[in-house]
Structure 1
Amino acid sequence: MSPSVPPSPPSYGSTSDPVVKTAAGSLRGAREGGVAVFRGIPYARPPVGALRFAAPRAVRGWDGVRGARAFGPPPPQAGAFGMDALSREAAGDDDWLTVNVWSPDPGPGAGLPVMVWIQGGAYVTGTSGLPEYDGGRLAREHGVVVVTFNYRVGVEGFAQIEGAPANRGLLDQVAALEWVRDGIRAFGGDPGRVTVFGESAGAGSVAALLAMGRARGLLRRAVAQSVPGAFFAPELAADIAGACAAELGLRPTVAALSAVDPARLAAAGDAVTAGLPGRVERWGLPAHRSIAFAPVVDGEVLPVTPWQALAEGAGRDVDLLVGHTRDEQRLFTAIEGTLGQVTGEQAAEALALFAPGPDGARHYRGAFPAAGPGELYELVHSDWLFRMPSLHLARAQTGAGGRAHVYELTWSAPGMGGALGACHGLDVPLVFGNLVQGHAAALIGDDLASRAEAETVSAYVRDAWTAFADRGDPGWPAYDAMRRLTRCFDTIPVVAPYPEEASRLLWEDHVFAALPLSAGA
Structure 2
Amino acid sequence: MSELTTIDAQTAYGPVSGIVENGITRFLGIPYAAEMTAERRFAAPVRPEPWEEVLPAHTHGSTAPKPELAGRLGELMSDPDVVGDRPDEWLNLNVWTPSPGTQTQLPVMVWIHGGGFTTGSSAVPVYDGTTFARDGVVCVSINYRLGVYGFGRLEGAPDNRGLLDQLFALEWVRDNIQQFGGDPDNVTVCGESAGAMSVLALLSTGTSLFHKAIVQSGTAHLGQSPGDAALVMNDVAKRLNVPATVESLAGVEVAALIDAQNLTSADITKTASVAKYGASTIASCGMSFMPVIDGDLLREQPIKAISSGQGSHVPLLMGTTTEEFRLFVTTSFLAGWDTPILFKPRIKAYGAPDGSYDTYDVDGPVYPRKAAPGVASAVLTDRMFRIPTYRVAEARTDDENTFVYEFGWRSGVTPNNVGVELGACHSLDLPFAWDTLHLPESKAFTGPDAPQALADALHGTWVEFATTGGVNWQPYDEARRTVMCFAHDNTTADTAVEDPRSGERLWWKDALPRT
TM over 0.5: yes
Offset, 1:402: 5.7
1:296 and 2:285 matched: no
Is 1:65 paired with 2:54? yes
RMSD: 2.4
2:218 to 218, 222, 227: 227
Amino acid across the alignment from 2:264: V
Deviation at 1:286, TM superposition (A): 3.8
The whole-number CA distance in structure 2 between the counterparts of 1:441 and 1:234 is 41
Shift of the alpha carbon at 1:36? 0.6
- 1:378 is the counterpart of 2:377: yes
Q: What does 1:43-442 correspond to in 2, within 5 Å?
A: 43-81=32-70, 86-87=80-81, 89=83, 93-140=87-134, 142-213=135-206, 216-228=207-219, 229-276=221-268, 277=270, 279-283=273-277, 286-287=282-283, 290-339=286-335, 341-356=337-352, 360-362=353-355, 365-366=358-359, 372=370, 373-399=372-398, 401=399, 403-416=401-414, 419-437=421-439, 439-442=441-444
Residues 460-491 of structure 1 deviation map (CA, whole Å, 9 limit, x = unaligned) = 00111110010011211111110011111110
> Does the CA-based 8 Å contact 1:364-1:506 persist in structure 2?
no
Report the 3-state secondary structure (helix = DSSP H, G, I; strand = E; otherwise coil) of the residue aligned with 2:174.
helix
| Superposition TM-score, scaled by structure 1 size | 0.88
Deviation at 1:147, TM superposition (A): 0.3
How much does 1:419 deviate?
2.0
CA 366–42 in structure 1, closer or farther in 2 if over 3 Å, else same: closer
Amino acid at match of 1:291: M
CA-to-aligned-CA distance 1:313-359 (integer Å, 9 cap, x gap): 10112100012000011111111233374312023224433454xxx
CA shift for structure 1 position 367? 6.3
Distance 1:71 1:131 in 2: 11
Name structure 2 gaps, 5 residues minimum: 364-368
Q: 1:45, 1:61 → 2: CA distance?
A: 10
Q: SS where residue 126 of structure 2 aligns?
A: helix
Q: Distance in 2 between matches of 1:381 and 1:59?
A: 42
Cα deviation digits, residues 136-158 of structure 1 (max 9, x gap): 11211x11000001000000000
| Residue aligned with 2:157, SS | coil
* Cα offset, 1:248, TM superposition: 0.8
- Closer, same or farther: CA 355–241 of 1 in aligned 2, 3 Å: closer
Taking structure 2 as the reference length, the TM-score comes to: 0.89
Identify which of 464, 467, 470 aligns with 2:467.
470
Q: Give CA deviations for 1:125-176 in whole Å, capped at 9, x if unaligned.
A: 1111111111111211x11000001000000000011110101000000000
Task: Tell me by how many angstroms 1:67 deviates.
Answer: 0.7
Of 3, 27, 36 in structure 2, the residue corresponding to residue 38 of structure 1 is: 27
Distance in 2 of aligned mates of 1:84 and 1:246? 31
- Number of equivalenced pairs: 489
Partner SS state of residue 40, structure 1: strand
Question: 1:501, 1:163 → 2: CA distance?
Answer: 48
CA offsets, 1:370-403, max 9 Å, x none?
A: 664334311221112212112212112225x362
| Amino acid in the other structure paired with 1:485 | T
- Distance in 1, Cα, partners of 2:109 & 2:172: 13
| Cα distance change on mapping 1:389 and 1:288 into 2, 3 Å | closer
Aligned-pair CA distance for 1:89 = 4.5
Q: Which amino acid in the other structure matches residue 445 of structure 2?
A: L
8 Å CA contact 1:487, 1:493 repeated in 2: yes
Cα–Cα, structure 1 residues 232 and 512, in superposed 2: closer, same or farther, change >3 Å?
farther
CA distance in 1 between partners of 2:81 and 2:171 (Å): 26
Contact 1:36–1:103, Cα closer than 8 Å, also in 2: yes
Residues 462, 85 of structure 1: alpha-carbon distance in 2 compared, 3 angstrom cutoff: closer
Query: Structure 1 counterpart of 2:138, which letter?
Result: V
Amino acid at match of 1:174: L
Q: Percent identity?
A: 37
Cα deviation, residue 281, structure 1:
2.2
The DSSP-based 3-state class of the residue aligned with 1:18 is strand
Q: How far is 1:33 from its partner? A: 2.5
The 1:391–1:497 alpha-carbon spacing in structure 2 relative to 1, beyond 3 Å, is: same
Please name the residue that 2:477 is paired with.
480
Task: Name which of structure 1's ranges 312-321 and 91-100 shifts more when overlaid on structure 2.
Answer: 91-100
For residues 362 and 486 of structure 1, what CA distance do their matches in structure 2 show? 26
